[in-house]
Amino acid sequence: MTMENYNTILLNVDELWLKGKNRPLYYKAAKRHVKEVVKLLHTAPFQIKNDNQRLVLSSQENFCGELIPALQRIPGLFSIAPVRPVAANLEDICRAAISETEALVTRPTSFKVFTKRIDKRFPHDSMEVSRQVGGALLEKIEQLRVDVHHPELKVQIKITPEWAYVGIREFKGVGGLPFAMTGNLVTLLSGGFDSPVASYQMAKRGCRQSFVFFYAYPFVGEDVKEKIIKMSRVLASYQRESKLYVIPFGEIQKAIAKTCREEYRTILFRKLMVDAANLLADKIGADALLSGDALGQVSSQTIGNISLIDQISKRPVFRPLLGNNKAEIIALSRRIGTHDISVIPHDDACSLFAPKHPIIKPDKNYWDLYNKQNQFCDALSDALSNAEVFSFNALGK
Ligand code: ATP
Ligand code: MG
């Protein structure tokens, strides 16, 4: 839809009603994120006001078309509806409903009018408003017919003490909880399908994320780094602000590969990544780690290997995809915009050093002994201090 002539947008919030006393904080966080996004796309002054359970974004100047998709990525927003504010009387409401609908209807279309009367002093009840507006629409626009069960077009009317809002489009948001309301995560981001989808899942639950990529340069090419930066931009567009840490990891992987039993390489690479992620979390104040594991997908994602990692991690490791099938993950990746980046082929250091038969049932004695004798403390703190850091704004730029 073209947004060229809308200067008012209703933002319906999702789970904010759950939060009782904390509700004002949640609204504040959602508003702050919206403000950040609008500021980047709209140069004229604008306002965001609370109006009952929703937010009303408005400006003297019309908003641009890119704003809607950007707002659709803000966690905590359930839906986004561009509307026409008119004086709260039936005549103006009908006129606006007709002009909004006329512009959109080019073929026979079914519709239904939905009215919410927030101002109970308004002289007509919701049913009556819907009936009147429906009648006016049927009279003016020949292609329309009423369908109260499965209307193609929903004409929404909201009557507040100040204005009546008339809108015919409502765009679905990410929903969930606003940015940074539930905690800070270090997200282990690799180039595949899983970790970006895992990141999206927890962005939706209100987690602020810092992305970390363990970069096995010079054993992998530079294109994988470019790929991760590109991926981070997409994931960053679901956050108010983000950072990506690219941590040099080639030497550490080489040292592990040289010193451990071959079948333990993969799980030890993972352990050292988790150690490094915890060190980074200490530094930036994160509460938990996030990874894209799905149970049994590969050998490092068996219960045995997952429990080894959980025993050494100082913080909980969130794994929102444990119960997802690959096809489900890929379907979600298409929806959130990461699919086309995930499919780009890339070098993978884990497979470069990959053992022929990665361990599935690890020997706890060997694991403990190896880790006692090989702590990589200096190597890890060197790697961390040599990290390359990239920052992204709320549009992922
Ligand atoms: P994905 O599909 O998420 O890219 P994958 O299918 O290649 O991962 P693994 O290599 O087993 O699966 O990795 C499991 C998880 O470990 C990933 O989802 C990611 O969270 C983390 N991970 C793996 N490699 C790296 C890396 N080089 N840098 C950061 N995190 C990594
Ligand atoms: Mg995977």
Contact assessment for residue 73 and residue 89, using Cβ atoms and an 8 Å cutoff: no
The residue among 49, 53, 59, 96 whose CA lies nearest residue 77 is 53
pLDDT, position 228: 97
Q: How much is the pLDDT for 361?
A: 85
293 lines ligand 1 (CB under 6 A): yes
Ligand 1 pocket mutation, candidates 187, 188, 189, 190, criterion most atoms within 8 A of CB = 190
How far is residue 394's CA from residue 178's CA, in Å, rounded to a whole number? 13
Q: Where are the domains of the chain?
A: 8-172, 184-392
Sign of the dihedral defined by the CA atoms of residues 26, 33, 244, 353, in that order: positive
Amino acid symbol at 244: L
Taking a C-beta distance cutoff of 8 angstroms, is the pair 30, 13 a contact?
A: yes
| pTM, two decimal places | 0.93
What pLDDT does 236 receive?
98
Q: In whole angstroms, what is the distance from residue 55 CA to residue 38 CA?
A: 13
Domain 8-172 CATH assignment equals 3.40.50.2020: no
* Domain 184-392 annotated CATH 3.40.50.1400: no
Residue type at position 102 = E
Q: Is 193 in the pocket of ligand 1 (CB under 6 A)?
A: yes
Return the residue whose CA atom lies nearest to atom 30 of ligand 1: 188
Helix 194-204 and helix 223-236, axial crossing angle in degrees, nearest 10: 20
For a substitution probing ligand 1, which of 185, 186, 187, 188 has the most ligand atoms within 8 Å of its CB? Answer: 188
Q: What is the pLDDT of residue 118?
A: 85
| The domains spanning 8-172 and 184-392 adopt the same CATH topology | no
Going from the Cα of 209 to the center of ligand 1, the distance in angstroms, rounded, reads 16
pLDDT of residue 221: 87
Closest residue CA from atom 24 of ligand 1? 190
Asked if residues 314 and 341 have their Cβ atoms less than 8 Å apart, the reply is: no
Nearest atom of ligand 1 to the alpha carbon of 196: 3
Lay out the sheet containing 317-318: strands in order across: 317-318, 288-290, 183-188, 207-215, 242-248, 388-392
Centre of ligand 2 to C-alpha 359, Å, is 17
* Residue 220 confidence (pLDDT): 87
At position 209, the amino acid (one-letter code) is Q
Which pLDDT score is estimated for 353?
Answer: 77
- Name the residue of 186, 189, 195 to mutate for ligand 1: max ligand atoms within 8 A of Cβ: 195
Residues with CB under 5 A from ligand 2 (ion): 194
Q: Is the CB of 298 under 6 A from ligand 1?
A: yes
CA–centroid distance, 196 to ligand 1, in Å, is: 10
Assess whether the C-beta atom of 291 lies below 6 angstroms from ligand 1: yes
Q: What is the CA radius of gyration of the chain?
A: 26
Splitting the chain (397 residues) into consecutive groups of 10 residues, what average pLDDT does each group show?
Answer: 77 80 88 97 95 90 94 96 94 94 91 91 90 94 94 94 92 96 96 96 98 92 94 98 97 93 91 97 98 86 90 97 96 97 82 78 91 93 96 97
Q: Which amino acid is at 139?
A: E
